[in-house]
């Protein structure tokens, strides 16, 4: 079996005006849908970051992929990593290095290789699954769970549903603690989530503390809570928030990337332990590759790592991470960015085959709509907050080519090509807005 065709589809999907410490989401999110076809007619699919750069990086390995046996992924990763090492070694041009302190996921040139490899790997695993007649999680060594739990991912947001303002605004404006509770009730009612994440770093910490407290009194301790301000707080503020939410973030909750850098997180952890506050710290900003994990452990800066197949280098790298975390006594959760059903299924398959997944995974899926879904049969259905793993071969999804064509048309029609939340913030909310870390 040999790869005989690579097709790349750049699409745009509507995205509501969600806020984070990076700024504001644009009305559109961009994705690239990757299709690989083999000489015996099997098609594998994956979904990755959108815009020109991710596409160009995939185009750049087109020749390497043509004629490749889709089983032989290790050699591809080795070859691509060699190039990556050359790019990364001594490279000081990227602010924050490999971290996501300054650059949103998908924009850091230093993880371009793992991102590009992941897109190929996932499509190849889909092919392998289809060739073997088995779901991808079984190709990865077998599932340890049939249903993968996801978390409600709450955002402060402005009014609007995204796109050309012609998409429904399901959740309305959410800029107060009461509105966050309303958003959560709605999301939980629809998807059945049993864990809750709040994207913080947007409003004064006192308001965000109040939001978490209000959620706790509404949903009770059986719904663990996490808050993620994406480094918006100083060490002092991080400690203050953790002290204030000592009870609310306990029992399966966590504090995610409260302040920038591993040293900052280590300081916060020491100070919390001194006050006998056990709230674990999680990260997808300061820990973005396997090489970061031992240092994070050594400093006790991070107790929970957020995996993400899209930039960690695919499904098998996430399994390695799961194992490494278990060896080092660390927990594992999963990070997400705006995505459709192909990504959701890739995330679900690897989560099903990762024993040490200790928390429900993040997903932005509720923020996207049926109208933009490119998976045949429409949106993936959640059951009690979980994605059930289908018994169908591969990822278990096929593309709806009409929907895909609509996604391409939207992409062609807009000028937007690169996520820049700071620019969106200046355009729509505050012309003088700058990302300041720490802001509080
Ligand atoms: O979607 O605005 C967003 C998030 O802030 C996203 O970009 C983050 O990468 O979800 C992410 C996180 O957990 O840090
Ligand atoms: Mg995060």
DSSP 51-101: SHHHHHHHHHTHHHHTT--TT-HHHHHHHHHHHHHHHHTT---STTTTSSS
Question: Which one of 24, 29, 202, 228 would you pick to mutate in the ligand 1 pocket, going by the greatest count of ligand atoms within 8 A of its CB?
Answer: 228
Q: Is the pLDDT of residue 107 over 90?
A: no
pLDDT at site 87: 67
Q: Is the pLDDT of residue 109 over 90?
A: no
- Average pLDDT of span 134-163: 98
Choose among 52, 41, 39, 73: nearest CA to 8: 52
User: Pick the catalytic residue: 335, 339, 349, 364?
Assistant: 335
pLDDT at site 88: 67
- Structural domain boundaries in the chain: 3-137+403-412, 141-396
Q: Closest-lying ligand to the alpha carbon of 362? A: 1
Q: Is the pLDDT of residue 64 over 80?
A: yes
pLDDT in tens, 157-168: 999 999 998 999
pLDDT in tens, 116-125: 999 999 999 9
Number of residues that make up the chain: 440
Q: What is the CATH number of domain 3-137+403-412?
A: 3.30.390.10
User: Does 438 sit behind a cis peptide bond, omega within 30 degrees of 0 on the bond before it?
Assistant: yes
Q: What is the residue-averaged pLDDT of the chain? A: 96
Please state at what angle helix 112-132 crosses helix 52-60, rounded to 10 degrees: 70
Which atom of ligand 1 lies nearest, measured to the CA of 336?
Answer: 10
Alpha-carbon span 168 to 374, nearest angstrom: 18
Task: With beta carbons less than 8 A apart as the criterion, state whether 355 and 397 touch.
Answer: no
Which atom of ligand 1 lies nearest, measured to the CA of 364?
Answer: 1
Alpha-carbon span 350 to 348, nearest angstrom: 6
- Average pLDDT of span 140-144: 98
For 141-396, the fitting CATH number among 3.40.50.970, 3.40.1360.10, 3.20.20.120, 3.40.190.100 is: 3.20.20.120
Q: How confident is the model at residue 66 (pLDDT cuts 50, 70, 90)?
A: very high
Q: Which residue spans within 236-303 are E strands per DSSP? A: 254-256, 281-283
pLDDT in tens, 328-379: 999 999 999 999 999 999 999 999 999 999 999 999 999 999 999 999 999 9
CA of 228 to the centre of ligand 2 (A): 6
User: Pick the catalytic residue: 25, 130, 199, 310?
Assistant: 199
CA of 238 to the centre of ligand 2 (A): 15
Question: Which one of 26, 29, 104 would you pick to mutate in the ligand 1 pocket, going by the greatest count of ligand atoms within 8 A of its CB?
Answer: 104
Protein residue closest via CA to atom 2 of ligand 1 = 20
Q: How confident is the model at residue 241 (pLDDT cuts 50, 70, 90)?
A: very high
- The set of protein residues with a Cβ atom below 6 angstroms from ligand 1 is 18, 20, 22, 104-105, 199, 228, 230, 284, 335-337, 362
Q: How confident is the model at residue 414 (pLDDT cuts 50, 70, 90)?
A: very high
Q: Which residue has the higher pLDDT, 5 or 86?
A: 5
Q: Is the pLDDT of residue 51 over 90?
A: yes
pLDDT at site 394: 98
Protein residue closest via CA to atom 13 of ligand 1 = 335
pLDDT at site 237: 98
Is 9 one of the annotated active-site residues of the chain?
Answer: no
Alpha-carbon span 337 to 364, nearest angstrom: 6
CA of 142 to the centre of ligand 1 (A): 29
Q: Is the pLDDT of residue 84 over 80?
A: no
Q: Is the pLDDT of residue 422 over 80?
A: yes
Fill in the DSSP letter of residue 70: T
CA of 256 to the centre of ligand 2 (A): 6
Alpha-carbon span 7 to 34, nearest angstrom: 6
Which atom of ligand 1 lies nearest, measured to the CA of 338?
Answer: 1
Percent of the chain residues past pLDDT 70, beyond the cut? 99
Q: Is the pLDDT of residue 89 over 70?
A: no
Task: With beta carbons less than 8 A apart as the criterion, state whether 196 and 154 touch.
Answer: yes
Q: Which residue has the higher pLDDT, 99 or 198?
A: 198
Which atom of ligand 1 lies nearest, measured to the CA of 306?
Answer: 13
SS3 at position 370 = helix
Alpha-carbon span 219 to 248, nearest angstrom: 11
Choose among 182, 187, 249: nearest CA to 212: 249
Question: Which one of 304, 335, 435 would you pick to mutate in the ligand 1 pocket, going by the greatest count of ligand atoms within 8 A of its CB?
Answer: 335
């Amino acid at each position: 079996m040999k790869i005989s065709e690579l097709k790349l589809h750049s699409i745009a999907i509507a995205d509501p005006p969600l806020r984070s410490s990076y700024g504001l989401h644009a009305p559109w999110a961009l994705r690239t849908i990757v299709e690989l076809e083999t000489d015996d007619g099997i098609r594998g699919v994956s979904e990755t970051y959108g815009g020109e750069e991710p596409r160009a990086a995939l185009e750049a390995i087109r020749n390497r992929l043509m004629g490749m046996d889709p089983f032989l992924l290790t050699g591809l990763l080795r070859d691509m990593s060699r190039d990556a090492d050359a790019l990364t070694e001594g490279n000081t041009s990227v602010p924050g290095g490999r971290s996501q302190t300054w650059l949103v996921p998908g924009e850091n040139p230093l993880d371009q290789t793992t991102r590009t490899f992941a897109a190929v790997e996932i499509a190849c695993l889909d092919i392998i699954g289809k060739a073997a007649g088995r779901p991808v999680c079984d190709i990865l060594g077998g599932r340890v769970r049939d249903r993968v739990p996801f978390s409600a991912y709450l955002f402060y947001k402005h009014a609007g549903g995204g796109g050309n303002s012609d998409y429904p605004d399901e959740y309305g404006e959410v800029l107060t603690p009461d509105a966050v509770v309303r958003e959560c009730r709605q999301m939980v009612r629809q998807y059945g989530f049993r864990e809750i994440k709040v994207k913080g770093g947007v409003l004064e910490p006192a308001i965000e503390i109040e939001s978490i407290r209000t959620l706790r009194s509404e949903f009770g301790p059986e719904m663990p809570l996490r808050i993620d301000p994406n480094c918006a707080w100083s060490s002092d503020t991080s400690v203050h928030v953790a002290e204030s939410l000592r009870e609310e973030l306990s029992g399966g909750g966590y504090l995610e990337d409260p302040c920038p850098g591993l040293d900052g997180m280590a300081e916060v952890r020491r100070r919390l332990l001194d006050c006998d506050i056990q709230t674990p710290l999680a990260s997808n900003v300061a820990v973005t590759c396997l090489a970061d994990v031992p240092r994070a452990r050594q400093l006790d800066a991070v107790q929970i790592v957020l995996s993400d197949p899209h930039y960690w280098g695919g499904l098998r790298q996430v399994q390695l991470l799961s194992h490494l975390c278990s060896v080092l006594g660390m927990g594992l959760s999963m990070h997400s960015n705006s995505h459709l059903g192909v990504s959701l299924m890739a995330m679900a398959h690897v989560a099903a085959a990762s024993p040490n997944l200790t928390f429900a995974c993040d997903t932005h899926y509720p923020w996207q709509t049926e109208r933009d879904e490119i998976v045949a049969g429409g949106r993936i259905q959640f059951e009690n907050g979980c994605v059930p793993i289908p018994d169908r071969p591969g990822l278990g999804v096929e593309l709806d080519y009409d929907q895909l064509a609509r996604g391409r048309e939207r992409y062609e029609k807009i000028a937007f090509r690169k996520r820049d939340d700071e620019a969106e913030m200046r355009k729509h909310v505050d012309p003088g807005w700058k990302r300041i870390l720490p802001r509080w």
